[in-house]
Amino acid sequence: MSYLGLKDNIRASAVCRAWRKAAESVRVVEKHPWVISFPRHYGVTILFDPLGRKSYTLNLPELVGTDVCYSKDGWLLMRRSSLVDMFFLNPYTRELINLPKCELSFQAVAFSSVPTSGTCAVIALRPFTRFIIRISICFPGATEWITQDFSCSHGFEPYMHSNLVYANGHFYCFSSGGVLVDFDLASRTMSHQAWNEHICPYIHMYNEEWFSLRKRIYLAEQKVKVEAKASERK
């Protein structure tokens, strides 16, 4: 197994449990993000290493007719064409974990950690109205989604907002109007704050009316290493 490249290593791991254990023990996967894409009707998945400039092709028929909703730490959160069936898939090990049907529509979805960690939570967000945000939460192994509506007094733009980002036990979402939504996973409470200085620059006043261009907004997680000052360490 140690002589195989990544592509053949993954294929060999699908033979049986013994081969999978042996393949994973010598598998070397770079830690930097890869790009994944696949033709919708052929079950062929393309993994691209942007730093090594190498492409790998895998046959994953379980991805036919599905869309990628979110990715994190090598796991994909997928949704089938039925729109209510969601599942986790690890394209390296081909492990699949189903979720209960998500009957309610959503505009943003994310999960906190790998589904095998025991602490994974999936959050689906939908601005129901400008002043009401609907949040659904689910855990791997659960039988249903838990849905709750939260009020947003600052007004959250229903159609112009960022993706969901998870960091330090909280899910965040930012609207073009400068409102940051903060969902605390442990207490299942939502707070929000208005950042007027961070209103999306693509919103303009024209003839005394607000006019917004269709531009996407993104949040990104950044890990910052903070070093204490010498005086504080003492």
The tens digit of pLDDT for each residue in 62-80 reads 787 888 899 988 899 999 8
Please tell me the predicted confidence (pLDDT) of residue 24.
Answer: 87
Pairwise CA distance, residues 51 & 171, whole Å: 30
Please tell me the predicted confidence (pLDDT) of residue 51.
Answer: 79
In degrees rounded to 5, what are phi and psi of residue 138?
A: -150, 155
Nearest Cα neighbor of 2 from 12, 51, 16, 74 is 12
Question: What is the CB-side half-sphere exposure of residue 169 using CA atoms within 13 A?
Answer: 6
CB proximity list for 208: less than 8 A, separation 6 or greater: none
Pairwise CA distance, residues 128 & 62, whole Å: 32
Please tell me the predicted confidence (pLDDT) of residue 35.
Answer: 87
Please tell me the predicted confidence (pLDDT) of residue 50.
Answer: 85
Pairwise CA distance, residues 122 & 108, whole Å: 11
- pLDDT in 10s for each residue of the chain, 234 residues: 888 877 888 889 899 999 999 998 888 766 678 888 876 666 688 888 887 788 888 888 778 788 889 998 889 999 987 778 999 999 888 899 999 998 888 899 999 999 999 999 999 999 888 899 999 999 999 999 999 999 998 888 887 888 999 998 999 999 887 899 999 999 999 999 988 777 665 555 455 555 555 567 888 877 665 554 444 444
Please tell me the predicted confidence (pLDDT) of residue 145.
Answer: 95
